[in-house]
Structure 1
Amino acid sequence: MGIANSLRAELFGATTKTPPFAMLLPEGWVTKPADMEALGSQVQAALAQVPGADTARLRASVDSVLSQAGVGAESNERLIAWITQQDVPVDDFVPMSFALAWLEAPAGTSMMSLAKQLVNGRNAAPLDEAGTILRWVDRADLPVEGGVVHTVQPTYLIRVPHAPETALIIRATILDGAEGEHLDEEGVSAMTLLSDGIVATFRWKRDA
């Protein structure tokens, strides 16, 4: 599992405080507005194509992940967009999506101090050589009806230029199994590398 050969730029608009930015997305990946209902319908439609007895459990898993992802890990996150697959063949379906959110530092602090806390407390480390993208990985067990879903969440923090109190959070959620059963490490590693590869193409559009 790797990044597709076909890549295209996806531009995200600016706000009064933040410049626009862009990432390169592999073929079959699209950006969607921060609309939980629309995203849920889209992912469920994709899962409907997955054959086998585990389809029902996969659907329950996705429902749980979406309900959890709709609430930012921090109360000062503001969800702005999703990145997910659309209209891809079953064999190319990847159980992973991205949530993008603006993050405001707590009053009286800055993103620099938050970044230091992440390094010390969650083993965060730079993704890129320039050190502009801070990355860490969480594992979360999410309850669903009749069991538990396991997820892996590579998360990335990118400070906004000239706005020391603001950052962009990109959180990937990878479905890692359910009810005590996990995907093989090779599959999780491949999806994590795919996540890293997509986020590594991030660029602020300074000329906009």
Structure 2
Amino acid sequence: MEAVSPSLREDLGGTVQPVPPFVLLLPPGWVSLEPTRDVFDDLAARASAVFRSQHRPDLDAQFRSMVASAADEFLSRDPVRIIMQRDVPAELMLPVTIMAARLSSPDGASLDARVSDLVRSQGAHPLDDRGVIMKWSSTSDRETEAGRVGLRGFNYLVPVPETARRQAVLFTASVPARADGETLGEDYLERLELVIDAVMSTFRWSA
């Protein structure tokens, strides 16, 4: 069991109210970490070792560039946690990282309108019978210094309690699905999606 407890962050305007603690049941070898630049550097270094062992310096360069870009974007938002594999053999590593960030309506209104738009435009739907978590998939391309990388995203939106649905936590599992002319097969991506769904289905607020 991994208790994911965001730490209190401060800005120039004063204390930022933290996201309430929550719990996810993570598979062996997975960890939940504070969102820092060092975590992204460690992720890039571990993946680099795998690519070098496979004699793929091209993919190594692309992945490092992609991680650096993702770190800049994620850390500029309202990051909450990074969830990834760490204590697993290289041959068992999965090409996925789950990043959790807080979303807030800029005008203080409910996020219900945004969720309705996600249902219409992205096919968002409840993850399970509880209906608490909304899920949808996405595809995007990211330009890196080493070339273009195609990403598959699995997204999970959870409203923060006692905020009148004005805040939510967005979990995004990003998978580099296409790079350097090579593409992960749909069967493999579907298996990855099942793993991530299983992890997210264990989500609960601990307070």
Q: Report the 3-state secondary structure (helix = DSSP H, G, I; strand = E; otherwise coil) of the residue aligned with 1:48.
A: helix
Q: Which residue of 2 aligns with 1:3?
A: none
Separation (CA, whole Å) in 2 of partners of 1:42 and 1:146: 18
Distance 1:136 1:29 in 2: 23
Greater alpha carbon shift after TM alignment, 144-153 vs 128-137? 144-153
3-state SS of paired residue (2:116): helix
1-structure distance, mates of 2:67, 2:139: 12
Residues 49, 162 of structure 1: alpha-carbon distance in 2 compared, 3 angstrom cutoff: same
Instruction: Tell me the equivalent position of 1:11.
Output: 4
Once the two structures are superposed, residues 7-26 of structure 1 have per-residue CA deviations (whole angstroms, 9 ceiling, x without a partner) of x2333247636421110111
Asked if 1:200 is matched to 2:194, the reply is no
Q: Which residue of 1 aligns with 2:188?
A: 187
RMSD: 2.2
Which residue in the other structure is 1:111 paired with? 111
Deviations for 1:128-152, whole angstroms, at most 9, x for unmatched residues? 1121000111111111234211111
Residue equivalent to 2:125: 125
Alignment partner, residue 159 of structure 1:
159
Number of the residue aligned with 2:43: 42
CA distance in 2, matches of 1:58, 1:10: 32
Aligned twin of 2:60: 58
After TM superposition, where is structure 1 displaced by more than 3 Å over at least 4 residues in a row? 13-18
Q: 1:65–1:142: 8 Å Cα contact kept in structure 2?
A: no
- Confirm or deny: 8 A CA contact 1:69 1:99 kept in the other structure: no
Confirm or deny: 8 A CA contact 1:159 1:167 kept in the other structure: yes
Q: Distance in 2 between matches of 1:193 and 1:66?
A: 27
1:96 Cα offset (Å): 0.5
CA distance in 2, matches of 1:199, 1:167: 15
Structure 1 residues without counterparts, runs of 5 or longer: 1-7
2:79 paired with 1:79: yes
Kept in 1, the 8 Å contact 2:126–2:135? The answer is yes
Gaps of 5+ in 2: 9-16
Percent of aligned positions with the same letter in both sequences?
Answer: 29
SS in 2 for 1:128: coil
- Mean alpha-carbon deviation: is it higher for 196-205 or for 55-64? 55-64
Cα separation, partners in 2 of 1:62 and 1:138, compared to 1, 3 Å: farther
Taking the aligned partners of 2:68 and 2:137, their CA distance within structure 1 comes to 18
Give the aligned residue type for 2:105.
Answer: A
Answer whether contact 2:2 2:32 (CA < 8 A) is retained: no
Would the aligned equivalents of 1:21 and 1:205 in 2 still touch at CA under 8 Å?
yes
Inter-partner Cα distance in structure 1 for 2:46 and 2:29: 15
2:13 aligned partner: none
Query: Which residue in 2 is equivalent to 1:168?
Result: 169
- State the Cα distance separating 1:120 from its structure 2 match: 1.2
Distance 1:30 1:161 in 2: 24
Report Cα offsets for 1:23-56 as digits up to 9, x if no partner.
0111111111111233222332243034223244
